[in-house]
């Protein structure tokens, strides 16, 4: 194919309409190569190395996989009356070969996103506008950074990515939506989208990073003495009521186990959100196709499961997703969600643990603040200016807060 390659964009109302192998090949990572040949010139070797590092830093991010997104749709966790209507974007050439895709949803509300725009919606509607519907380019209910512009590597990657973004804006117009929100995107995509005219937003999460630890005690040795003692005390007290911890993955994920976890999920989710997002069927479906990418940490007392934490596994990372409990014991949440994940990562030689959104309490347990990124296209010029002014101030606050929190990390201070 030469420079005359023409791309077109279509919208699919179900991910089942897109071949899983094609979708996943796009999701593996973006690496643009020169049009003339598939090797970068020697002078561009450093730029190429940077792109490779970015493209394949999370090659197995489970939340942009066809299996995960299909389980959401088939279980009716999205679609129907959920307020998440699939509108997946597909970039293809005239022969129908697919070069790029994006997980996109027409939203009737702002629930399940973890990047909060309720204030924008309220202000716009008080001014007489209609904020909903809007478009969300994201992994639903999943505050995990990952690719959102899923572009197949090759000489036409840059062109396909440009067409994909143009398609988002055009779909916004076609659906009479107020806006497009690309949330929890990678920093490189965020820079590209903001350079293309979208509004830049940042936030922060707490992640744990493996510094080559061989054991959990090695990790503790890196902490200040009082924090080290605190964690040991919390782990001990979490199990004092005769609680046993088990880690389940693969064939261990039976339907009775999911029944127990779903009870925890519904109990905690109902109090936390009012209405949990995921249906019981979702857990069965995702277990059928992704069991080896799931780590379920379960707590048992008197032969009965009482609490659990759902994690997904990437190539280098554990992603903590959902927690629930029907009995409450001191520090059990920290043990099941945070310490077990750290211990598992050390044992498997994984590089990081991402423990979800919010939660400054994670800081004292070895998780450090890292930035997250989103980009926003606002169709109405007045709302766009107002939101842009707000985000400029918010970014300064978020960065100052992140730096302050980083200073409070529990690790030993090294001499300058």
Q: What is the pLDDT of residues 119-128, one digit of tens each?
A: 999 999 999 9
Long-range contacts of 230-237 (CB under 8 A, 24+ apart): 230/364, 231/339, 231/365, 231/366, 234/330, 234/331, 234/334, 234/335, 234/339, 235/331, 235/335, 235/339, 237/330, 237/331
Q: pLDDT tens across 26-85, in order? A: 998 655 545 433 333 334 444 444 444 444 445 679 999 999 999 999 999 999 999 999
- Single out the residue of 329, 314, 339 nearest to residue 247, CA to CA: 339
- The whole-model pTM stands at 0.92
Q: Between 3.40.630.30, 3.40.50.920, 3.90.950.10, 3.30.390.30, what CATH number should domain 7-204+371-406 receive? A: 3.40.630.30
Provide the pairing of β-strand 7-12 with 88-93.
antiparallel
Q: CA 13 to CA 8: how far, in whole Å? A: 17
How would residue 389 be classed by pLDDT, with cut points 50, 70 and 90?
A: very high
Q: Which helix (H) or strand (E) holds 203?
A: strand 199-209
7-204+371-406 and 211-350 agree in CATH topology: yes
Whether residue 382 has pLDDT greater than 70: yes
How would residue 275 be classed by pLDDT, with cut points 50, 70 and 90?
A: confident
Cβ burial of 290 (10 Å; 0-12, 13-18, 19+) is: middle
| 140 three-state secondary structure | coil
The answer to which of 4-8, 103-107, 396-400 has the lowest mean pLDDT is 4-8
- Spans of all domains in the chain: 7-204+371-406, 211-350
**Which CATH number does 211-350 carry?**
3.40.630.30
Reading the block at residue 235, the tokens are 């782990």
């Amino acid at each position: 194919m030469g420079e005359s390659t023409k791309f077109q964009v279509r919208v699919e109302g179900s991910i089942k309409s897109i071949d899983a192998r094609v979708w996943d090949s796009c999701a593996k990572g973006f690496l643009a190569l020169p049009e003339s040949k598939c090797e970068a010139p020697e002078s561009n070797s450093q730029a190429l190395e940077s792109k490779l590092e970015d493209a394949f830093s999370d090659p197995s991010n489970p939340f942009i996989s066809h299996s995960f997104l299909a389980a959401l749709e088939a279980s009716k966790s999205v679609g129907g009356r959920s307020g998440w209507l699939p509108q997946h974007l597909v970039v293809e050439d005239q022969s129908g070969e697919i070069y790029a895709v994006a997980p996109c949803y027409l939203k009737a509300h702002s629930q399940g996103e973890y990047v909060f725009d309720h204030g924008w919606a309220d202000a716009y509607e008080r001014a007489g506008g209609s904020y909903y519907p809007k478009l969300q380019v994201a992994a639903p209910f999943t505050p995990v950074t990952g690719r959102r512009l899923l572009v197949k590597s090759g000489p036409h990657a840059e062109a396909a990515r440009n067409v994909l973004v143009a398609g988002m804006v055009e779909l916004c117009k076609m659906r009479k939506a107020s806006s497009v929100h690309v949330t929890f995107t990678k920093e490189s995509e965020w820079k590209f989208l903001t350079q293309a005219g979208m509004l830049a937003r940042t936030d922060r999460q707490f992640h744990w990073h493996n510094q080559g630890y061989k054991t959990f005690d090695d990790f503790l040795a890196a902490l200040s003495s009082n924090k080290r003692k605190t964690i040991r005390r919390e782990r001990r007290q979490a199990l004092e009521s005769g609680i046993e911890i088990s880690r389940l993955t693969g064939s261990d994920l039976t339907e009775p186990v999911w029944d127990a976890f779903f009870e925890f999920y519904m109990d905690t989710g109902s109090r936390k959100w009012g209405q949990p997002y995921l249906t019981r069927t979702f857990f069965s479906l995702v277990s059928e196709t992704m069991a080896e990418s799931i780590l379920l940490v379960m707590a048992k007392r008197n032969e009965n499961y009482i609490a659990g934490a759902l994690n997904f596994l990437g190539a280098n990372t554990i992603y903590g997703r959902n927690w629930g409990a029907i009995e409450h014991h001191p520090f059990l949440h920290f043990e099941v969600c945070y310490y077990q994940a750290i211990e598992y990562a050390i044992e498997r030689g994984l590089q990081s643990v991402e423990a979800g959104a919010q939660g400054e309490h994670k800081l004292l347990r070895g998780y450090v603040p890292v930035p997250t990124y989103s980009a926003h296209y606002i169709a109405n010029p007045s709302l766009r200016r107002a939101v842009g002014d707000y985000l400029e101030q918010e970014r300064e606050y978020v960065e100052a807060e992140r730096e302050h929190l980083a200073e409070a990390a529990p690790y030993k201070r090294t001499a300058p």
